[in-house]
Amino acid sequence: MNKRKVFGVGLSRTGTRSLCEALTLLGYKTAHCTVEGGGLINPDRFADGEYDAAADIATAGQFEEFARLYPDARFILTLRDLDAWLRSLRGHFFRNPEEIERFRAPGDPLCAVFQRAYGARPPLEWSDDWWAARYSAHKERVFLHLVKRLNHLLKLRICEGDSWGPLCEFLDEPVPDVPFPRAGTAPPAEREPILRLLECEVPALLNVFGSVPGPVLEVGTGDGLFVAQAATQFPGRVFDCVDSFKPAAPDKFAGDRCLWEVNVPCDKFPTVTLYEGRSDDILPALPRKYGAIFIDADHAHDAVLADARNAWRLLLPEGILIFHDYFSHDAVALAVETFAAEVERSVEPVVGTMAVVARSGNWSFL
């Protein structure tokens, strides 16, 4: 027997996959982001019983049509803290640049789906303001269209901890005796990979690594996305990584150890070693010297200065220290300049927010 139709009408990166998995556990035949040749979902797939439920960008763009076709349907608007949503979306598109290109390409099915959900094609350059405006407009669009049937609409914040209770009460379903699915989320802490490097900085940093011999040390490895890329480009080269995976302060972000292990599996990257702990404890005990040390950990002035001093002793004679966020964080800049004065070296700009202090004193980025 077919169930009542349920449509998740939240935008991507708001817990839609978790919602689909939860609906499946409740016995619904569920589709996640069903995109067809023309870009939009064929409503007949619900009418003939192939699906009882769906969620993600396609249903977010077509919910008005489904509301007309299924007067008794239920709608679930998954929401997320705006800053967390923007951060998650930036990270997703950073890792999947081909997807944003498809959203912009006329004639691509994903472009039609995106325009139905967001009202326009995405901009060429990332803009928090543009995406935030689209997020707010979509939420308003859902409320305005369903204003006369708000008893058929549930707001659900899966990424912030909502689970079986409100969902099962809304759908009049018994609560399953299994944990609520968390597909890539872990409330209340964020588990999204942190977007640390600007797009232009990645090839530049790889070029810097290629300009000096010896092992590489990454202080503040985050979720391991960059070291995985670097180890792929330089197979056989030794990479050591340091991270405590704990925020330096309550309002600061931290990497995720579980995501690091997913992104940097030991069988695929045997030359990458992780040292878990505070950099001021780990660095003095490291056993080798390095050609390049990339520092992108705690951005507090004293922490950056301590990392620089500890890392300096680990450099090979031709080695270099690379500091991230030198041009975007005053505390980092002041610490780097203080350190450079101590060791009587200059600070050399690289690309984006990065700068280098070289042990030999004659390094330059061309």
- Domain ranges, ordered by start, for the chain: 6-171, 201-358
Residue 330 has a pLDDT of 84
Tell me which of 73-82, 125-134, 191-200, 268-277 is least confident: 191-200
The average pLDDT across 71-90 equals: 87
* Maximal C-alpha separation, the chain: 78
Asked whether residue 194 carries a pLDDT value surpassing 60, the answer given is no
Contacts of 82 (CB under 8 A, 6+ apart): 132, 135
Tell me which of 140-154, 275-289, 346-360 is least confident: 346-360
Residue 282 has a pLDDT of 94
The average pLDDT across 112-130 equals: 89
Has domain 6-171 been given CATH number 2.60.40.10? Answer: no
The average pLDDT across 28-48 equals: 74
> Which residue is associated with the tokens 């990458």?
272
Asked whether residue 190 carries a pLDDT value surpassing 60, the answer given is no
Nearest residue to 212 via CA among 327, 321, 55: 321
Residue 192 has a pLDDT of 39
Contact 206, 229 (CB under 8 A): yes
What is the three-class DSSP state of 285?
A: helix
Beta bridge partners of 348: 356
Residue 187 has a pLDDT of 37
* 67-77 per-position pLDDT tens digit: 999 999 999 99
Going through the chain in order, the beta strands assigned E by DSSP cover 6-8, 30-32, 53-55, 74-78, 153-156, 216-219, 239-243, 272-276, 290-295, 315-323, 348-349, 355-358
Tell me the residue length of the chain.
366
Who has greater pLDDT, 289 or 189? 289
Tell me which of 74-83, 194-203, 266-275, 318-327 is least confident: 194-203
Contact 53, 7 (CB under 8 A): yes
Amino acid at 211: S
Burial of 303 (0-12, 13-18, 19+ CB in 10 A): buried
Asked whether residue 11 carries a pLDDT value surpassing 60, the answer given is yes
Asked whether residue 45 carries a pLDDT value surpassing 70, the answer given is yes
Who has greater pLDDT, 247 or 35? 247
Q: How far apart are CA 130 and CA 94, in angstroms?
A: 17
Asked whether residue 255 carries a pLDDT value surpassing 90, the answer given is no
Same fold, 6-171 and 201-358: yes
DSSP string over 234-266: STT--EEEEE--S-SSTTS----HHHHHHHS-T
Whether the bond between 188 and the residue before it is cis, its omega within 30 degrees of 0, is yes
> What is the CATH number that goes with domain 201-358?
3.40.50.150
Contacts of 294 (CB under 8 A, 6+ apart): 205, 216, 217, 218, 219, 322, 324
Residue 278 has a pLDDT of 92
Q: How far apart are CA 287 and CA 294, in angstroms?
A: 17
The average pLDDT across 46-64 equals: 88
Asked whether residue 19 carries a pLDDT value surpassing 70, the answer given is yes
The average pLDDT across 328-346 equals: 90
Other C-beta atoms lying within 10 Å of the C-beta of residue 337: 14
Beta bridge partners of 76: 8, 154
Question: Residue 22 — pLDDT band, cuts 50, 70, 90?
Answer: very high
DSSP string over 29-76: -EEES---TTSS--THHHHTTS-SEEESHHHHHHHHHHHHH-TT-EEE
Q: How far apart are CA 65 and CA 145, in angstroms?
A: 11
As given in the structure block, the two tokens for residue 307 are 């990392």
Asked whether residue 2 carries a pLDDT value surpassing 70, the answer given is no
Tell me which of 1-5, 47-51, 259-263, 335-339 is least confident: 1-5
Q: How far apart are CA 79 and CA 9, in angstroms?
A: 10
* 300-311 per-position pLDDT tens digit: 999 999 999 999
State the DSSP code for 186. B
Asked whether residue 250 carries a pLDDT value surpassing 70, the answer given is no
The average pLDDT across 347-357 equals: 85
Asked whether residue 144 carries a pLDDT value surpassing 60, the answer given is yes
The average pLDDT across 131-136 equals: 94
Residue 193 has a pLDDT of 39
What average pLDDT does the structure give for the chain?
A: 86
Tell me which of 39-43, 160-164, 219-223, 243-247 is least confident: 39-43
Residue 36 has a pLDDT of 52
Contact 6, 74 (CB under 8 A): yes
Compute CA distances 250 → 81, 161, 197, 254, 278, whole Å. 17, 19, 22, 10, 16
The average pLDDT across 2-31 equals: 91
DSSP string over 89-100: HHHHHHH-HHHH
As given in the structure block, the two tokens for residue 133 are 């405006």
